[in-house]
Chain A
Amino acid sequence: MKQETKRISVLKIVIYIFFCFMTALYLVPLLWVFSVSFKTNAEIFSSPFSLPKSLFVDNYVVAWTAGKLGIATWNSFLVCVITLLLSMLVGSMIAFAIARMQWKMSKLVLTYFMLGMMIPVHCVLIPLFTRFAKLGLSNNLWGLVLPYLTFSLPVTIYIMTGFFRSIPSELLEAACIDGCSIYKIFFQVCLPLAKTGLFVTGLMTFVANWNELLLAMVFISDDNIKTLPVSLSKFVGPYNTNYSQMFAAIIIAIIPTIAVYCAFSNQIVDGLTAGAVKG
């Protein structure tokens, strides 16, 4: 028995060493970029791995203003928030109708939306691009909101359907007896009860769209409407040798998501998994 516990504790130590190594593998690159972003170009080559001698904030100032990352951050924020709100509203309306209301085609409509999960955005890129150019939606943030919204709908509908199905029908009956209309039941009874679902789907939509590169790169060519990932890849071109500014740009791009992640990490991780597990 004593030997048994000894063996287990050795195993535990090995596991912990392994995970400390993994943590280093994940955090060191991020921390390295963070420290390098405060150095001057010369310092990067002379002493790449030491802490910066002084906080050289100019990198950030240049990236934010001349690199237009400030505008890009605002654009990204605008697009993501509009998409987030719309996808919550539209997605949960459909999910409610599918989960709770009684009509013949509901299964078929659900399948139709679920097919969207398997479709890569690349196959609709060219038709959308030519159509949006005709409609004046290219170089326009609404031209991004529409496809982002569409591609976030399947997941939103999927997760919200699960949440609406779990609401006990007695609650709906009670609301009905109290004389609520169907819209009131949806907005004032069901939506508040599915708050967790809204939070999860909202986060998933926000994260996915904040990081989206391909669509934004194709649809937007005006520097003042570009979103963050696009500005970043243009700003950090292969011929640009001002490394320290690029590092500052990378940090600007990932700091908002890191901040959100640190604040809600447990909810995000659990929520995203809950969403995926139901899938």
Chain B
Amino acid sequence: MNKLLQDKKAICIFIVPGLLLFTFVLFIPICQSIYYSLCNYDALTPPKFIGFTNYKNLLRDDTMKIALKNSMFFLIFSCVTQLIMGLLLAGLLTNIKKGRNFFKNVIYLPCVLSSAALGLLWMFIFSPKLGINQLLQARGIPGPLWLMDTKGFITLPMWVIGFVALWQYVGQSMMLYMAQISGISKTLYEASEIDGCSKAKSFRYITLPLIKPMVGTAMSLNAIGSLKFFDLIFNMTEGGPNHTTEVLATHLYTQGFKYFKYGYASAIGVILLVLCLIMTGLINTVFKTDQYEN
């Protein structure tokens, strides 16, 4: 038996295809990307090493500042709202029996749909002449330019896109929390009821501490997801008007594949990667807890 499981040849056959693929499509390109970010590289000339010039230029790039600001806004907004809404929905759903499955499935539905298509859908709902503004106009209220407003530190379009992202992905957080809540033993709640706890109190003192590890998981998923955020913005505003809704991913796309500044775009990519790693590390240390006995 052990001889069979230690068969070196079989292990190689099982491992090697995936390992090769992973190395060539993921690992080597990341190294290349880091190298390119230190190069002057565009579509016509081969990469030429120039040190940290790309990063210095990034510091002076106004669009980059906007992109970074918007990405950070997105990160914080989605972590906070997904946590609150996800917990709220999960907490309420576990309390009802009839229709629980139906509501759960409806709220989860947008998670599996194409965000490119949903982005277009919401673009029309928030467009100047259609959707919500048609409803407002019928009542004589002039609707705001939902996706074209440029006033304020965080512009109105960013809030709108944030809302759409929350709408689309809150199902995922909800499901994660629900799975964790349903894993909590009923005896704990019964004991607390005998001790005279109210529902709200047992939520605060039993449910919350026990789902803390899952909060970490859901949050790191959210954080990485919101840093990578591209499809919705690309289809709703394309980073416009005047770059006010640009995020890191759209900025990278524009620089790399509209202006073909490969070196510069690689530098944005490296910053994105570093942010992802930092956020994952940070969330994991904050939410790292001893596993409770469930």
Contact = CB atoms under 8 A, between A and B. Distances in A.
Interface in A228-279: 228-229, 232-233, 236, 238, 243, 246-247, 250, 253-254, 257-258, 260-261, 265-266, 268-269, 272-274, 276-277, 279
B142 interface: no
Contacts, number: 253
Given A16-B96, A26-B109, A261-B109, A182 B262 contact: no
B103 A23 contact: yes
Interface residues of A, number: 93
Interface in B203-220: 214, 217
Interface string B253-279: 100110000100110011011001100
Interface stretch (B48-56, B72-80, B224-232): B224-232
Given A19-B103, A29-B122, A116 B26 contact: yes
B6 interface: yes
Contact of A125 (B108, B135, B269): B269
Interface stretch (A52-60, A92-100, A194-202): A92-100
Given A16-B96, A103-B11, A273-B179, A122 B228 contact: yes
Interface string A99-124: 01111000001001100101111111
Interface string A119-135: 11111111111110000
B82 to A, nearest CB: 14
Which applies to chain A's interface (DSSP): helix, strand, loop or mixed?
helix
22 contacts: A22-B106, A45-B129, A48-B134, A91-B18, A101-B5, A119-B30, A123-B270, A124-B26, A125-B265, A126-B33, A126-B266, A127-B33, A151-B26, A176-B4, A253-B116, A254-B113, A254-B118, A258-B109, A261-B109, A276-B172, A277-B176, A277-B214
B4 A232 contact: no
B272 A229 contact: no
Interface in A158-207: 172-173, 176, 181-183, 185-186, 207
B1 A229 contact: no
A84 interface: no
Given A207-B112, A228-B114, A277-B176, A214 B269 contact: no
B44 interface: no
Interface string B93-117: 1011001011111111110111111
A131 B28 CA distance: 11
B67 interface: no
B146 interface: no
A27 B130 contact: no
Contacts of A100: 5
Given A15-B95, A102-B5, A229-B231, A130 B22 contact: no
A229 B230 CA distance: 13
A151 B224 CA distance: 14
A33 interface: yes
Contacts of B10: 97, 101, 182-183
A32 B5 CA distance: 57
Contacts of A94: 14-15, 18-19
Given A122-B269, A257-B112, A243 B19 contact: no
A72 to B, nearest CB: 12
A247 B110 CA distance: 17
B144 interface: no
B249 interface: yes
Interface in B137-180: 167, 172, 175-176, 178-180
B66 interface: no
B258 to A, nearest CB: 11
B235 interface: yes
A1 to B, nearest CB: 14
Nearest to B21: A150
A268 B249 CA distance: 29
The residue among B26, B36, B228, B276 with the most chain A CB atoms within 10 A of its own CB is B26
Contacts of A258: 109, 113
A229 B114 contact: yes
Interface string A36-55: 00000000110011000000
B89 interface: yes
Nearest to B115: A211
A149 B18 CA distance: 9
Contacts of A62: none
Q: Which 5 A-B pairs have the closest CB atoms?
A: A127-B29, A124-B29, A127-B32, A123-B269, A229-B116
Nearest to B274: A123
Contacts of B1: 172-173, 176
A66 interface: no
B124 A269 contact: no
Given A124-B26, A126-B269, A253-B116, A101 B105 contact: no
B227 A19 contact: no
Given A93-B14, A214-B253, A119 B122 contact: no
B16 to A, nearest CB: 9
A213 B116 contact: yes
A258 B117 CA distance: 12
B103 A276 contact: no
B224 A120 contact: yes
